[in-house]
Amino acid sequence: MSEGARAKHFGEIALPHLDAAYNLARWLMRNEVDAEDMVQDAYLRAFRYFDGFAGTNARAWLLSIVRRVCYDALRRRSRDGISFEDADSPAFDDAIDGFVSRPVDPETSLLREADRALLDRLIAALPPLYREVIVLRELEELSYREIADVVGIPLGTVMSRLNRARALLLKAWQTNVAREAARGL
């Protein structure tokens, strides 16, 4: 196949997933400029290794490359002094322990406001390893199996991460809406 034909074939398979790729990068990098750079870099890498792609799930394959590119960039920056949170750190365990087994009031009005800005802010504040599973599951609607492939972790870890991510998000949401309620909003 000529380079041009190869590029055309690649485009037909990869470009339909551009929104998914950008959405993941945008959430991981938390800004538009970086997200665009990451996706472009990821697509060029994907093109380079395209001949080695034999599967049928092009979306999961592309998202795994986007993710790797984003994490490389985040890690580089964390070495430059910007903190890069780690989901497996004890601090996050502490934040969740005690929450999971606590009863939740079903009639709580805390969850009534689906405030886009608030949700975006809270999800963006999650550590990346939790943020990405929320984005992949809730926004890209990937199956557990696909998430496992994209993130490169076993199925069991997908589930525990998703559980913790939601517990963190729920807690943050309840806290924020309660604060607003206390202010009379």
Closest CA to 77 of 40, 29, 143, 20: 29
Rule CB under 8 A: choose which of 119, 125, 157, 176 binds other proteins: 119
Q: Does 67 bind other proteins (CB under 8 A)?
A: no
Q: Does 79 bind other proteins (CB under 8 A)?
A: no
Rule CB under 8 A: choose which of 34, 36, 85, 180 binds other proteins: 36
Name residue, tokens 């924020």.
Answer: 176
Element (H, E) at 43: helix 32-48
CB of 80 to other proteins, least distance (A): 25
Residues 126/96, Cβ–Cβ less than 8 Å: no
Q: Does 148 bind other proteins (CB under 8 A)?
A: no
Rule CB under 8 A: choose which of 8, 75, 76, 179 binds other proteins: 8
Q: Which two tokens stand for residue 18?
A: 């551009």
Q: Which CB atom, from 29 or from 74, has the smaller least distance to other proteins?
A: 29
Residue 21 to residue 14: CA distance in whole angstroms: 10
Contact stretch for other proteins (CB under 8 A) within 66-74, 77-85, 88-96, 144-152: 144-152
Rule CB under 8 A: choose which of 47, 157, 176, 180 binds other proteins: 47
Q: Which CB atom, from 5 or from 80, has the smaller least distance to other proteins?
A: 5
Q: Does 106 bind other proteins (CB under 8 A)?
A: yes
Residues 132/123, Cβ–Cβ less than 8 Å: no
Q: Around Cβ 52, how many Cβ atoms within 10 Å?
A: 7
Q: Which two tokens stand for residue 57?
A: 């799930």
Rule CB under 8 A: choose which of 6, 75, 76, 179 binds other proteins: 6
Q: Does 111 bind other proteins (CB under 8 A)?
A: yes
Residue 127 to residue 168: CA distance in whole angstroms: 10
Q: Does 103 bind other proteins (CB under 8 A)?
A: yes
Name residue, tokens 């074939």.
Answer: 9
